[in-house]
Amino acid sequence: MNILITGGAGFIGSHLAEYLLHQGHRVFIIDNLSTGSFENILHLKNHERFQYTIDSIMNVPLTAELVDRCDLVFHLAAAVGVKLIVESPVYTIETNVKGTEIVLDLANKKKKTVVVASTSEVYGKANKIPFSEDDDLVLGPTHKGRWSYACSKAVDEFLAFAYQREKRLPVIIVRLFNTVGPRQTGQYGMVLPTFVKQALQNCPITVYGDGSQSRCFTHVNDVVDALYKLALKKEAIGQVFNIGSDEEVTIRNLAERVRAIACSNSPIQFVPYEEAYEEGFEDMRRRIPDIRKIQQLIGYRPTQNLEQIIESVVHFCRNCTAPGQELSYLGSEDLRSATG
């Protein structure tokens, strides 16, 4: 197939591009590098089945041309990261809602299948654990910018389902839970790479709040494998799926485990939310997915536990000077194509 990835130079997008090339597909990406990085795709740029475009999906004629050339679209382009969301709520809303509307409208002209990446943030302040796809969404007040991301991604989901029901556009929604791994940066508040870099430098590991909030971390390799398998399932059309792990860890314990695996002497420093973000910032106390639905459809199960995930990120940060040096999927034949 010819496959388009919006946001393809991002952390997840670049891993997905690698995976799809390994599967034998021709891959097109578009990314404006606002949160992605050209270094993420540097090792792919000369691959005979890879084409990159550095531009925004808001460039409608260009995006239309790319959508027309492809059989399947993975829509990953979005404003992401808590820090960015708090500091730039207008950009967050416009990028997520307008960008998704453009992609869906263009895909609808020739009924191209679209896999829309959403987020666990849409569950908001819901306290029913684990989060399942049919649960109610409980968002915070509109005057708190922290919830603009969750709301914008919920609107993306509503819009995608509207296109599916009214216009019969094949869409699949995925809610991603704390995807981590090599090439992820801590630039916009991503916790694991931030902790690892602090630990390797023997700097204080900064835990926001009291560290009792908990998360479940999933390796990017498991996520891109699930994305691809869902895209091939006709039964997934018109459905929403959680993709994540159900191995829960508090952020304080995560910091302790990173410190131990990195053999670091870093102290753990607790930083109040209002100092890290803004006055009145609200965090989700627990974020645990119910993954039974995706298990039943594609046999999904995370293959790496938290210790293995931390080890892979520590190894990457210690040994790789450029993100493209660590390849997850490309074998020797693909590498020869990728490097010329």
Are 182 and 313 within 8 A, CB to CB?
A: yes
Dump pLDDT digits (tens) for 122-139. 999 998 999 999 999 999
CA–CA gap between residue 30 and residue 54 (Å, rounded): 6
CA 60 to chain centre: 23
| 2-179+218-245+284-303+329-339 fold | Rossmann fold (3.40.50)
- 237's torsion region: left (phi>0), alpha (psi -120 to 50) or beta? beta
Q: How does residue 190 score in pLDDT terms, banded at 50, 70 and 90? A: confident
Question: Which residue ranges make up each domain of the chain?
Answer: 2-179+218-245+284-303+329-339
Of 142-146, 278-282, 309-313, the least confident: 278-282
CA–CA gap between residue 252 and residue 334 (Å, rounded): 40
| Residue 325: predicted pLDDT | 43
CA–CA gap between residue 214 and residue 133 (Å, rounded): 19
**Active-site entry in 19, 123, 149, 163:** 149
The one-letter amino acid code at 130 reads: P
| Residue 36: predicted pLDDT | 86
The one-letter amino acid code at 264 reads: S
Instruction: For residues 243-255, give the mean pLDDT.
Output: 97
The question of whether 149 is a catalytic residue gets the answer: yes
Are 67 and 112 within 8 A, CB to CB?
A: yes
Dump pLDDT digits (tens) for 290-328. 999 999 999 999 999 999 999 999 999 998 644 444 444
Over 50: is that where the pLDDT of 239 sits?
Answer: yes
Q: What is the pTM of this model?
A: 0.91
| Residue 278: predicted pLDDT | 65
Of 122-136, 175-189, 193-207, 324-338, the least confident: 324-338
Over 60: is that where the pLDDT of 14 sits?
Answer: yes
Question: In 10 A of CB 225, how many CB atoms?
Answer: 19
Are 90 and 47 within 8 A, CB to CB?
A: no
- Reduce the secondary structure of the chain to three states and give it as a string: CEEEEECCCCHHHHHHHHHHHHCCCEEEEEECCCCCCHHHHHHHCCCCCEEEEECCCCCHHHHHHHHHHCCEEEECCCCCCHHHHHHCHHHHHHHHHHHHHHHHHHHHCCCCEEEEEEEHHHHECCCCCCECCCCCCECCCCCCHHHHHHHHHHHHHHHHHHHHHHHCCCEEEEEECCEECCCCCCCCCCHHHHHHHHHHCCCCEEEECCCCCEEECEEHHHHHHHHHHHHCCHHHCCCEEEECCCCEEEHHHHHHHHHHHCCCCCCEEEECHHHHCCCCCCCCCECCECCHHHHHHHCCCCCCCHHHHHHHHHHHHHHCCCHHHCCCCCCHHHHHHHHC
Over 90: is that where the pLDDT of 54 sits?
Answer: yes
Over 70: is that where the pLDDT of 189 sits?
Answer: no
Enter the tokens of residue 122.
């849409």
214 vs 275, which has greater pLDDT? 214
| Residue 102: predicted pLDDT | 97
Instruction: For residues 231-260, give the mean pLDDT.
Output: 97
Enter the tokens of residue 30.
């578009």
| Residue 143: predicted pLDDT | 83
| Residue 84: predicted pLDDT | 65
| Residue 83: predicted pLDDT | 64
Q: Say which residues have a Cβ less than 8 Å from residue 242's Cβ, sequence separation at least 6.
A: 120, 131, 132, 133, 174, 175, 177, 289, 290, 291, 293, 294
| Residue 185: predicted pLDDT | 81
